[in-house]
């Protein structure tokens, strides 16, 4: 209260000074607005009052509190001493307000309290008032003294400033107006303050003595339009004064190292955030290292690794991840992804369209397929009129090659000698569509066999027309018609049975109907209307490739389009080379090879793989570009696979499916790539959910010591197909106890592996039902326990057999019979219709009416 009043008294003082205000009216109003609440009000009030009568309207709220004073004791008590002041405060808005509040409070109190206390309150109030009056008078005196002092001080300041300003003005006059803005700043406020200052300061002092500075600061607000910079400078000064630098103003700008670091960190952080928000288009190739991905996204490698970890994958920054994973990460980080295939370098390498006018007829490419020993090799050899069967192991064709023969009326026909449909499909899987016609050899004495059916499926899947060659018709037990009927079951309908599949009865041995077979092939080829453009860069497929000691890498290539010339730069898979020599199937060296011509190509820098497509490029640089890309791609894909990041869902599911299966590790070495592929393909197909062959290493060439070391380290079996172990390898194998098995027939090899893998299968548990018995009575036999008296209802019951106790169709016990008695004798078995006594091993709770089911469990070894 006393405080509120003191300002009131001040206001009286200020009231006097306020009279000065009208002069600087607008300025003062602005000052007040930009600073405190009360100050503004004071200024406004005064202004309005000065303006005239309307001010009294504002005084009305004042009148109200004044009015209740006489009514309510405390205010009235206050009104007495306050009375002389009252008119003064009424002039100043602040005082009026504070008084009103007080009175309202007081009135609220009075109303809330009982009126009976009025008198007492009045007395207390009077005392209070008296005390207050005395206190206030003292304070007033003090304040007035202080004000006087202040005023003196102000005046001194003003005088000083005026003096300064004058000096400055003089200086300005002397040095010209240009320097004015800088010096005007401090001078201008002074000028503004001349009249305003006393009022401003007094108003400030009402509430905040500190407000003097803002007041002073606000002073220049008026001249602000003239000079802006100093206005900005002043708040800075102010902060400096309030904080550390009251003592040492010069060191203000110095920051501590920590604060500096914090600041830079903060700044850095701010820089990072917008970067993250920057959605980049991230180019993602088929495989990418984590480092590279992070770089392309402009993210930190650790962030990428952290995300991978969240997905349960531990990775190093140098690890390669596949495109799908990379895309997930990039998208999660808010980037857009552009999947590119580096295969763009291969663009234009293959399948450039030909002008139909350039196309010329070409020889059909024929593959002979069929069950083992049905005479594939014999037939091919008979056609070539060269007997190579004797040089082989008699079973299956082991070398992949291709030969061209002349047919009597339809020009040349190219035969591909595959080791079976496995290689055929393996090639097809790599996109090499080589074969135009499949000749299915079926022995007339043997009929349709499993591999015949497989061959049919393969041919159908490849949508390649089929010709059935019913072989061995020279044999007395040959039943060619039976073969035709059997084929019907597999949706192969030969012509004579109303279908569209051509069939020829042949004998490879007796060379019967071979011409007819060629004729039929020619006919079929005519229907297919096979054409190719021979006048263009060659395209073809590698049918076989091997590393020849003397000649280096040798690839058997079937040219499919264009013409391959010596000196051409060829690319196949991840190998390239310049054609050094072209050798035909007859061993002749030629200068070029046209469409459908199979040739051996020398000059490759490395051995390509069977099934690789061969293309001719214009320059070595291009060849290098393509092959390095392919090599890298292959390497990356391998690495990605090893990292455990599976490319597709199917792969993941396949992995999950095979996770718990037993593996049969194998090291396979073969003489040529084609055979190796066929073997690997066949072995991969072996096995089921439980067991599977895992080919740890497969390669072409003899078995080396390192193969044995590898096999030993993982406990793999070593298989050599048409190859032998080196001496050191043999010794190492003996030393380590590793068995090397040699084969020259693929099917034997596969059968052996199959048998070995079958051993890994858990034996099957098979139940054989023996019979049922019903409990008719339960006896308690001393030493034995409970014995059930039963009647065998069906089958037999055997001692030692497994039993189930069934009560109301619910199995209540499973165990073994401990005793089987017929009358008092132990018996081995009891047949249907007979009565017997039965006791269970460790089970007593049998009841009348229970059924005893008796069965035997057999372990059956499964096979693949
Ligand atoms: P592949 O495994 O299908 O390549 O069959 P082969 O060409 O190796 O022949 C298997 C066996 O059948 C060989 O012993 C041949 O002598 C025999 N053979 C092949 N063609 C005929 C034939 O037309 N008549 C008879 N009687 N035997 C044949």
d(CA 339, CA 323): 8
Task: Return the minimum-mean-pLDDT range out of 332-346, 773-787, 788-802.
Answer: 332-346
Instruction: Give SS3 for 650.
Output: helix
* pLDDT single digits (tens) 28-42: 555 555 555 555 555
d(CA 435, CA 440): 13
Confidence class for position 442, pLDDT limits 50, 70, 90: very high
CA of 471 to the centre of ligand 1 (A): 8
* pLDDT single digits (tens) 86-109: 444 444 444 445 557 777 776 677
Ligand 1 atom closest to 507 (CA): 23
CB crowding 152-184: b at 16 or more within 10 Å, else e? eebeeebeebeeebeebeeebeeeeeeebeebb
Tokens at 348, concatenated: 């234009």
What confidence score (pLDDT) does residue 843 get? 84
Pick the residue with more confidence: 301 or 202?
301
User: Within 10 Å of residue 574's Cβ, how many Cβ atoms?
Assistant: 19
Ligand 1 atom closest to 394 (CA): 8
User: 764-860, what's its fold?
Assistant: Elongation Factor Tu (Ef-tu); domain 3 (2.40.30)
Pocket of ligand 1 (CB under 6 A): 370, 372-378, 389, 394-397, 471-472, 474-475, 507-509
What confidence score (pLDDT) does residue 565 get? 93
What confidence score (pLDDT) does residue 857 get? 84
Give the residue range(s) of CATH 3.40.50.10050 domains in the chain. 661-758
pLDDT(686) > 70: yes
Task: Return the minimum-mean-pLDDT range out of 201-210, 382-391, 785-794.
Answer: 201-210
pLDDT(627) > 60: yes
CA of 482 to the centre of ligand 1 (A): 19
Average confidence score pLDDT of the chain: 74
d(CA 692, CA 364): 39
pLDDT(117) > 80: no
Residues 281-340, CATH architecture: Orthogonal Bundle (1.10)
Pick the residue with more confidence: 73 or 363?
363
Residues near 257 by beta carbon (within 8 Å), at least 6 away in sequence: none
Instruction: Give SS3 for 576.
Output: strand
833: left (phi > 0), else alpha (psi -120 to 50), else beta?
left
CA of 470 to the centre of ligand 1 (A): 12
Ligand 1 atom closest to 372 (CA): 2
Confidence class for position 463, pLDDT limits 50, 70, 90: confident
Instruction: Tell me the CA distances in angstroms from 485 to 370, 490, 496, 505, one per residue in order.
Output: 17, 9, 11, 14
- The most confident of the ranges 165-174, 216-225, 520-529 is 520-529
CATH 3.40.50.300 fits 363-525, yes or no: yes
d(CA 340, CA 326): 12
Q: Environment class of residue 712 by beta-carbon count within 10 Å: exposed (0-12), middle (13-18) or buried (19+)?
A: middle
What confidence score (pLDDT) does residue 200 get? 40
* pLDDT single digits (tens) 551-563: 889 898 999 989 9
Share of the chain above pLDDT 90, in %: 7
CA of 414 to the centre of ligand 1 (A): 21
Confidence class for position 578, pLDDT limits 50, 70, 90: very high
Nearest CA to ligand 1 atom 19: 375
- The most confident of the ranges 158-162, 593-597, 815-819 is 593-597
Nearest CA to ligand 1 atom 25: 472
pLDDT(71) > 90: no
Tokens at 113, concatenated: 């309290």
CA of 373 to the centre of ligand 1 (A): 6
Average pLDDT over residues 250-277: 68
Task: Return the minimum-mean-pLDDT range out of 165-169, 250-254, 495-499.
Answer: 250-254
Average pLDDT over residues 798-802: 84
What confidence score (pLDDT) does residue 427 get? 63
CB 763 within 8 A of CB 862: yes
d(CA 421, CA 441): 12
Of residues 387, 416, 375, 417, the one with CA closest to residue 506? 375
Confidence class for position 225, pLDDT limits 50, 70, 90: very low
Tokens at 773, concatenated: 């018995």
What confidence score (pLDDT) does residue 241 get? 60
Share of the chain above pLDDT 70, in %: 69
Per the DSSP assignment, residues forming a β-bridge with 742 are 720
CA of 524 to the centre of ligand 1 (A): 25
Instruction: Give SS3 for 662.
Output: strand
pLDDT(43) > 60: no
Ligand 1 atom closest to 395 (CA): 2
* pLDDT single digits (tens) 761-785: 777 778 888 899 999 998 888 777 8
Pick the residue with more confidence: 8 or 381?
381
- The most confident of the ranges 50-59, 229-238, 626-635 is 626-635
pLDDT(231) > 70: no
pLDDT(497) > 90: no
CB 532 within 8 A of CB 593: no
CA of 639 to the centre of ligand 1 (A): 45
CB 564 within 8 A of CB 582: yes
CA of 460 to the centre of ligand 1 (A): 25
Instruction: Tell me the CA distances in angstroms from 506 to 472, 478, 511, 773, one per residue in order.
Output: 7, 11, 7, 65
CA of 518 to the centre of ligand 1 (A): 18
What confidence score (pLDDT) does residue 217 get? 40
User: 661-758, what's its fold?
Assistant: Rossmann fold (3.40.50)
Nearest CA to ligand 1 atom 9: 375
Nearest CA to ligand 1 atom 24: 472
Tokens at 571, concatenated: 């690319």
Mutate to test the pocket of ligand 1, among 367, 373, 454 (most ligand atoms within 8 A of CB): 373
CB crowding 648-681: b at 16 or more within 10 Å, else e? eeeeeeeeeebeeeebbebbbbbbbbbbbbbbbb
* pLDDT single digits (tens) 204-221: 444 444 434 444 444 344
pLDDT(715) > 60: yes
CB 301 within 8 A of CB 316: no
Ligand 1 atom closest to 370 (CA): 3
Ligand 1 atom closest to 441 (CA): 3
* pLDDT single digits (tens) 121-164: 788 888 888 888 888 888 888 888 888 888 888 888 888 888 88
Per the DSSP assignment, residues forming a β-bridge with 721 are 670, 743
Pick the residue with more confidence: 688 or 50?
688
Q: What is the Cα 808 distance to its own chain's centre?
A: 56
Instruction: Give SS3 for 36.
Output: coil
Q: Is the model's pTM score more than 0.85? A: no
User: Within 10 Å of residue 465's Cβ, how many Cβ atoms?
Assistant: 18
Average pLDDT over residues 336-352: 72
pLDDT(645) > 50: no
**DSSP structure class, residue 704:** P
What confidence score (pLDDT) does residue 218 get? 40
Can you state the angle between helices 118-175 and 73-82, rounded to 10 degrees?
Answer: 40
CB 685 within 8 A of CB 716: no
pLDDT(594) > 50: yes
- Full 3-state SS string of 386-451: CCCHHHCCCCCCCCCEEEEEEECCCEEEEEEECCCHHHHHHHHHCCCCCCCEEEEEEECCCCCCHH
CA of 472 to the centre of ligand 1 (A): 7
Average pLDDT over residues 160-184: 65
What confidence score (pLDDT) does residue 573 get? 86
Ligand 1 atom closest to 378 (CA): 7
* pLDDT single digits (tens) 305-325: 988 888 888 888 888 888 888
Average pLDDT over residues 786-808: 88
Ligand 1 atom closest to 506 (CA): 23
pLDDT(2) > 90: no
Of residues 394, 285, 260, 389, the one with CA closest to residue 340? 285
Tokens at 711, concatenated: 């096999």
CA of 419 to the centre of ligand 1 (A): 15
What confidence score (pLDDT) does residue 194 get? 40
Give ∠ CA 80-83-84 in degrees, rounded to 5. Answer: 125
Give the residue range(s) of CATH 3.40.50.300 domains in the chain. 363-525
pLDDT(9) > 80: no
Of residues 840, 833, 786, the one with CA closest to residue 813? 840
Under CATH, which number does the domain 539-636 receive? 2.40.30.10
Long-range (24+ apart) CB contacts under 8 A made by 529-532 are 529/361, 530/361, 530/362, 530/363, 530/364, 530/436, 530/596, 531/359, 531/360, 531/361, 531/362, 532/354, 532/359, 532/360, 532/362, 532/560, 532/561, 532/562, 532/595, 532/596
Give the residue range(s) of CATH 2.40.30.10 domains in the chain. 539-636, 764-860
Nearest CA to ligand 1 atom 10: 373
């Amino acid at each position: 209260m006393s405080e509120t009043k003191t300002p009131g008294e001040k206001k009286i003082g200020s009231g006097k000074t306020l009279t000065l205000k009208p002069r600087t009216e607008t300025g003062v109003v602005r000052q007040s607005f930009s600073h405190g609440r009360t100050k503004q009000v004071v200024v406004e009030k005064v202004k309005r009052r000065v303006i005239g009568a309307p001010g009294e309207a504002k005084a009305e709220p004042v009148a109200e509190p004044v009015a209740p004073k006489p009514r309510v004791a405390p205010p009235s008590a206050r009104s007495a001493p306050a009375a002389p002041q009252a008119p003064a405060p009424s002039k100043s808005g602040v005082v009026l307000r504070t008084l009103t509040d007080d009175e309202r409070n007081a009135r609220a109190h009075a109303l809330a309290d009982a009126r009976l206390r009025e008198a007492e309150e009045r007395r207390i109030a009077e005392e209070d008032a008296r005390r207050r009056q005395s206190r206030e008078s003292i304070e007033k005196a003090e304040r007035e003294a202080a004000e006087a002092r202040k005023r003196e001080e102000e005046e001194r300041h003003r005088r000083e400033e005026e003096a300064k300003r004058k000096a400055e003005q003089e200086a300005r006059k002397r040095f010209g107006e240009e320097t004015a803005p800088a010096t005007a700043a401090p001078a201008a406020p002074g000028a503004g303050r001349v009249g305003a200052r006393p009022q401003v300061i007094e108003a400030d002092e009402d509430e905040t003595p500190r407000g003097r500075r803002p007041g002073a600061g606000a002073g220049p607000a008026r001249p602000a339009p003239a000079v802006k910079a100093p206005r900005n400078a002043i708040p800075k000064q102010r902060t400096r004064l309030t904080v550390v630098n009251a003592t040492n103003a010069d060191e203000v700008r110095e920051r501590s190292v920590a604060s500096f670091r914090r600041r830079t960190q903060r700044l850095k952080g701010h820089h990072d955030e917008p970067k993250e928000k920057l959605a980049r288009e991230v180019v993602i190739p088929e495989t990418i290292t984590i480092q590279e991905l992070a770089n392309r996204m402009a993210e930190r490698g650790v962030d990428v690794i952290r995300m991978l970890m969240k997905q349960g994958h531990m990775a190093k920054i140098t690890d390669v991840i596949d495109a799908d994973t990379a895309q997930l990460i990039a998208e999660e980080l808010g980037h857009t992804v552009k999947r590119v295939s580096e295969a763009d370098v291969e663009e234009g390498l293959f399948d450039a369209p030909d002008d139909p006018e350039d196309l010329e007829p070409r020889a059909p490419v024929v593959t002979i397929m069929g069950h083992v020993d049905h005479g594939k090799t014999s037939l091919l050899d008979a056609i070539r009129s060269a007997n190579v069967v004797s040089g082989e192991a008699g079973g299956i064709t082991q070398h992949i090659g291709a030969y061209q023969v002349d047919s009597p009326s339809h020009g040349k026909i190219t035969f591909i000698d595959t080791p079976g449909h496995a290689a055929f499909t393996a090639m097809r899987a790599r996109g090499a569509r080589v074969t135009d016609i499949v000749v299915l050899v079926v022995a007339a004495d043997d009929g349709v066999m499993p591999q015949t059916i497989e061959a049919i499926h393969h041919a159908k899947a490849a949508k390649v027309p089929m010709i059935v060659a019913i072989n061995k018709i020279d044999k007395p037990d040959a039943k060619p018609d039976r073969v035709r009927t059997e084929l019907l079951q597999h949706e192969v309908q030969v012509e004579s049975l109303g279908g569209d599949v051509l069939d020829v009865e042949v004998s490879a041995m007796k060379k019967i109907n071979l011409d007819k077979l060629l004729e039929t092939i020619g006919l079929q080829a005519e229907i297919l209307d096979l054409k190719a453009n021979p006048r263009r860069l060659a395209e073809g497929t590698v049918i076989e490739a091997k590393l020849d000691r003397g000649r280096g890498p040798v690839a058997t290539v079937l040219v499919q389009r264009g013409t391959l010339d010596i000196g051409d730069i060829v690319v196949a898979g991840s190998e390239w080379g310049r054609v050094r020599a072209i050798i035909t199937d007859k061993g002749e060296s030629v200068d070029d090879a046209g469409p459908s011509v199979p040739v051996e190509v020398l000059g490759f820098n490395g051995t390509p793989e069977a099934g690789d497509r061969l293309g001719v490029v214009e320059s070595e640089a291009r060849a290098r570009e393509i092959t390095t890309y392919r090599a890298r791609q292959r390497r990356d894909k391998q690495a990605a696979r090893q990292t455990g990041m599976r490319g597709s869902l199917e792969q993941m599911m396949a992995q999950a499916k095979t996770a718990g299966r037993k593996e049969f590790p194998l090291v396979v070495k073969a003489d040529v790539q084609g055979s190796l592929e066929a073997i690997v393909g066949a072995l991969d197909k072996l096995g089921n959910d439980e067991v599977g062959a895992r080919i740890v290493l497969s390669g072409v060439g003899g078995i080396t010591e390192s193969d044995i070391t590898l096999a030993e380290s993982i406990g793999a079996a070593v298989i050599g197909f048409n190859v032998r172990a080196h001496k050191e390898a043999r010794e190492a194998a003996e030393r380590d106890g590793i068995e090397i098995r040699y084969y020259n027939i693929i099917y034997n090899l596969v059968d052996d592996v199959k048998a070995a893998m079958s051993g890994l299968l858990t034996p099957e548990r098979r139940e054989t039902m023996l019979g049922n018995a019903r409990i008719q009575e339960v006896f308690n036999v001393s030493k034995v326990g409970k014995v059930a008296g039963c009647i065998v209802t069906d089958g037999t019951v055997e001692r030692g057999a497994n039993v189930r106790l069934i009560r109301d169709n619910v199995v209540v016990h499973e165990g073994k019979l401990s005793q089987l008695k017929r009358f008092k004798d132990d018996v081995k078995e009891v047949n249907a219709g007979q009565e017997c006594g039965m006791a269970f091993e460790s089970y007593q709770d049998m009841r009348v009416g229970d059924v005893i089911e008796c069965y035997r469990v057999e372990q059956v070894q499964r096979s693949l």
